[in-house]
Amino acid sequence: MGRKLSITAIFFLLLISVAVSAVENYPYKSDYLWYAVPDHSDWLYKTGETAYIDVMFLKYGIPQNGMIEYEIADDILSPDVYGKAELKNGKVRIKVGTSAKPGFRDVRMKLKLDGTTYRHHVKIGFSPERILPYTSLPSDFNDWWQENLKENGMLPLSYTKELCTSLCTDLVDCYLIKLKTDKSHYMYGYLMCPKNMKKGCHPVVLSPPGAGIKAIRDPRSRNYYPENGCIRFVVEIHGINPNAPEEVYNDIRSAFDGRVKGYLYQGLDSREHYYMKHVYLGLVKCIDLLTSLPEWDGKNVVTLGGSQGGGLALAVAGLDKRVTHCVINHPALSDMARGKIGEASGYPHPSEKEGLLTDNHVKTMAYYDAVNFARNISAKTFMTWGFNDNTCPPTTSFAVWNILKCDKEKLVTPINEHWTSDTTNRLQLDWILKNLR
């Protein structure tokens, strides 16, 4: 940490990286490019240490002159520093300053050029290894969940299974599953199976979804799981048949105030009535289904997800000791009440909705927060996240990472916003296969 590169070297390296691959921070087929590189190669500093960012701006590959207006803020919060920096031959260095407390500072830049405003941002961390969750563990957390699991476990395993010939390939069979998850709820999912499975030979992977009320995206998108011997269950959580027309999804979204995350605010007055209670219990029922398959190898159970799916993967791993491996990207549902202390709150960012972050709601959220399930995880865990993410901010990802006491590995990718690359996605399967029991 702390190694400095010349602006020329940085420029050269970045040109190579952009030529090789595009990243979502930059618009596809754009005429312009921002480069913003902290003077510490890992983008991390100690509290009290002064940080600088070397900035470049090119249009048509040509360095530009102009005045950058910037503001600096704590992670996803309102700015508290404003300034200007003049680009000369496309280059300028911005003094970010420091932070007295562990966390992240976000440098948000804009440049007006030829009648167009261009924007970019970079977050840097200050002693993030010292970030701990704000969310506390209720004294009866484990007892309450075990009581609910015991009650739900009395429900016999019941599901239907339908071969989806249009989604099968030469190497993979696909089945649409409708699983009864409690007395009044169902979940649908696609069971992606290796062709010609053998009894007692295959690890099982549960993949809960990202946030929203939407149809399951093409379940074949990561067919390399079943192609490499894993049985993968790609599920939704709202009990909607994936074959339902889009109007059905629109109507249900409207019923939850039309917001992508509206359902995540439903029933917060009580831990018994919160919407996500049946979701967490239903995902454990999904593990019941997977471990009932005669083709399961009898040893390896994986939870895998990103964003909301990452938070849910953590929750299931914390609830169910059958889970042996947990693989997560930028987990949502993590330290959701952190806004109570004026810091970045985890998705769905309840501090953004006026009147939502009441003491009673905070009490309910503690029973569903991923950081409290993370405390219980014994499964071997792989986690990846980026710094520039404003959906699942790095503050809350570090709160999860730092509280994990299990055998764990991480891949930190500072430039990433709310995405992972295809290479990282495939790397996760490689990690699973390498670590199978």
Residues 6+ apart with CB under 8 A from 345: 335, 336, 337, 338, 339, 351, 352, 357, 396
Residue pair 237/277 in contact by the 8 Å Cβ criterion = no
Confidence label for 17 from pLDDT (cuts 50, 70 and 90)? very low
Confidence label for 238 from pLDDT (cuts 50, 70 and 90)? very high
Domain boundaries, the chain: 7-130, 141-434
* CB crowding 278-306: b at 16 or more within 10 Å, else e: bbbbbbbbbbbbbeebeebbeebbbbbbb
Average pLDDT in the chain = 93
The architecture that CATH gives domain 141-434 is 3-Layer(aba) Sandwich (3.40)
Question: In CATH terms, is domain 7-130 a member of 2.40.50.140?
Answer: no
CA atoms within 13 A on the CB side of 185: 19
What pLDDT is recorded for position 256?
A: 86
Selecting among 288, 335, 369, 389, the annotated active-site residue is 389
**CA separation for the pair 413, 424 (Å, rounded):** 10
Q: Give the angle subtended at the CA of 18 by the CAs of 14 and 24, to the nearest 5°.
A: 115
Q: Indicate whether 352 pLDDT > 60.
A: yes
Selecting among 120, 330, 349, 418, the annotated active-site residue is 418
What pLDDT is recorded for position 178?
A: 98
Q: Indicate whether 35 pLDDT > 50.
A: yes
What pLDDT is recorded for position 5?
A: 42
Using one digit for the tens of pLDDT, what is the confidence trace for 301-324?
999 999 999 999 999 999 999 999
Both structure tokens of 259: 């917001």
**% of the chain surpassing 70 pLDDT:** 94
Both structure tokens of 34: 């921002």
Crossing angle of helices 308-319/276-292, nearest 10°? Answer: 70
Selecting among 99, 207, 307, 351, the annotated active-site residue is 307
CA atoms within 13 A on the CB side of 330: 26
Is 334 marked active-site?
Answer: no
- Low-confidence winner among 16-30, 170-184, 385-399 (lowest mean pLDDT): 16-30
Is 330 marked active-site?
Answer: no
Upstream peptide bond of 348 is cis (omega within 30 degrees of 0): yes
Residue pair 327/428 in contact by the 8 Å Cβ criterion = yes
Confidence label for 377 from pLDDT (cuts 50, 70 and 90)? very high
Q: Indicate whether 212 pLDDT > 80.
A: yes
Is 257 marked active-site?
Answer: no
Using one digit for the tens of pLDDT, what is the confidence trace for 45-103?
999 999 999 999 999 999 999 999 999 999 999 999 999 999 999 999 999 999 999 99
Confidence label for 18 from pLDDT (cuts 50, 70 and 90)? very low
Confidence label for 26 from pLDDT (cuts 50, 70 and 90)? low
Q: What is the pTM of this model?
A: 0.93
